[in-house]
Structures are given as structure tokens and as C-alpha cells.
Amino acid sequence: MDFNHISLQLAAVARRAGQFIRQESATFSRSHIESKGVHDLVSYVDKETEKLLVDGLREVLPEAGFITEEGTEGAHRAEEFNWIIDPLDGTTNFVHGLPVYSVSVGLIRGQELVAGVVYEVVRDECFRAAKGAGAFCNELPIRVSDVPDLNNALIATGFPYTDFGLMNDYLQVLGSFMRKSHGVRRLGSAAVDLAYVAAGRFEGFFEFNLNSYDVAAGLLLVTEAGGRTTEFLQDGDPLFGRQVVASNGHVHQEMQDTIREYWK
């Protein structure tokens, strides 16, 4: 199966979904918000975008199933191939008019990522990757940065919005990164953070309490761009592990060591 060709088809579907989000952003009102919790928002835009993606992806790979954030009706898992979809990663940003949000879709065969796209809607940047074929932004090849150490690195992170039991540990980790690096950024979209690591804009990213649909596409982007992805303290696959460290590879051990100082 030609996963590079599939990733190109996926990019076209993601762009169409992004056009819908862009169109709706012009007239979106906060009265359209449904709240899953004080820190977890959803709107009709999330749900309609997911339906558009499911319909479009069924045409790309009819035998594939779906792992979705919003639970679109009829979108069930399959045995071999599954699309992992976050229709609007950065919903809170979208709701508040902050222009950092994305469409994120990864394709897995079994447990292995084989294709992925992150489409950053406002900047019209489409990041795509396929297993063994490299990573691209708007069809130009991208690579992770060659920054050799944490002291010269720019790091991205995110904050958990449902699990605050480890917040004190997390803030200590954050403070350590702030002291050791050029700085820490929090954009509000894990998919964009990972795409930016792949493109060499960030040297590293770390976050916990993530779901597979937050990171699936971005993890493949990073590895296909020459970077490395693991869990916080171990070298396991982070796709379903809830913790992610992603980097250009050069700063990875320093990042894990920094987290290990405070993480219980």
C-alpha cells in the first residue's frame, strides 16, 4: 500500500475540513459552545468538521475504521486500519478567537502510525508525513533542527485540563525548563506543537494526559522529520501512553533528565 499517496489524499481532505472551520470562524458566537467541563469545550464546528472528515476519509480508505474525539455516529474501529481524528485541536483557542488551531488526522495499521496530517487552519500550513517517505509542509520537505543542547533550545508544552493531581510536579518541571532553555511556549494545540518540532521551529515538546487523537499525526511528523518521540521517563511508544516527549533528538535525553528530576 502506498502510504505517501494516502497522505496526499488525507491532506486534501484535511484542507477541505479546514476551509469549513475558517468559514465558520467568521460568524462563530460563544453561544454555540457546549461545555464538557470548565476546561473542555466543544461546539458544532468540532462535530460538523469531524463528520466531514469521516465522510472524506471513507472514500480514501473504505476498509479503515475510526478513533474519534467527538464520537461521530457510525464511525467505528476496524481490525487493521484506523483513522485517529481530532477535528479541531485547539477548540478553546478557536472559541476565544486565538488563531492557533488545527485539523489533526493520523492513520494506524495495527498500532503503527503510517500516515498523518496536521493542517494549521489560520496559517494555511499543511504538514503531512508517511512512513518511510519523510515529512512536508505545503509540499516542501521539513527536518527537525540541529540545535545540539537544551541551553539553546525553544521548548513547547501544554497544560492538563482534567487531571490536576500532578500539577505541582508539572510546574516544577516547567520551571526547570524555563531556567535551562531559551524559553517555553504554550500554544494550545498539541498537534501544532508537534508539527513545529518537525519543522525545526521548536526543539522539543512535552505534555501529559494527552489522548491519541491529540498526537497521532504529530508523532509521525516528528519521526519522519528525523526527530524522536517517547514517554516521559521511558522509551515506549507514546501514542496511547498519555505522556509525550518529542524532540529533534539532540536534546531528548536532557529533556527526559529534566522531567525525571521532579516527576513522580
What mean pLDDT comes out for the span 223-250? 95
Say how far apart CA 235 and CA 51 lie, in whole Å. 35
* pLDDT score of 37: 52
* pLDDT score of 159: 85
* pLDDT score of 160: 74
Whether residue 178 is predicted with pLDDT greater than 90 in this model: the reply is: yes
18: domain CATH number is 3.30.540.10
* pLDDT score of 137: 99
Residue 29 or residue 157, greater confidence: 157
Same-domain status, 50 and 129: yes
**Within 10 Å of residue 27's Cβ, how many Cβ atoms?**
7
Same-domain status, 184 and 106: no
Residue closest to 39 by CA, chosen among 86, 93, 88 = 93
The answer to whether 214 is a known ligand-binding residue is yes
Same-domain status, 118 and 159: no
Range of the domain at 240: 150-262
- Which residue, of 111, 141, 171, is where some domain finishes? 141
Same-domain status, 75 and 120: yes
The answer to whether 88 is a known ligand-binding residue is yes
163: domain CATH number is 3.40.190.80
- Residue 34 — φ and ψ, nearest 5°? -110, 135
Same-domain status, 162 and 205: yes
- Give percent of the chain above pLDDT 90: 77
Same-domain status, 165 and 136: no
Q: In this predicted model, what pLDDT tens digit does every residue of 196-217 receive, in sequence order?
A: 999 999 999 999 989 999 999 9
Residue 77 or residue 145, greater confidence: 145
Same-domain status, 76 and 206: no
What mean pLDDT comes out for the span 102-116? 98
Q: In this predicted model, what pLDDT tens digit does every residue of 10-38 receive, in sequence order?
A: 999 999 999 999 998 888 766 556 655 54
The answer to whether 149 is a known ligand-binding residue is no
The answer to whether 210 is a known ligand-binding residue is no
Say how far apart CA 120 and CA 255 lie, in whole Å. 26
State the amino acid at position 16 in one-letter form: R
Same-domain status, 224 and 112: no
Same-domain status, 129 and 165: no
Say how far apart CA 200 and CA 205 lie, in whole Å. 12
The answer to whether 69 is a known ligand-binding residue is yes
Domain count, the chain: 2
What mean pLDDT comes out for the span 192-199? 99
Same-domain status, 131 and 8: yes
Range in 35-44, 57-66, 161-170, 194-203 with the lowest mean pLDDT: 35-44
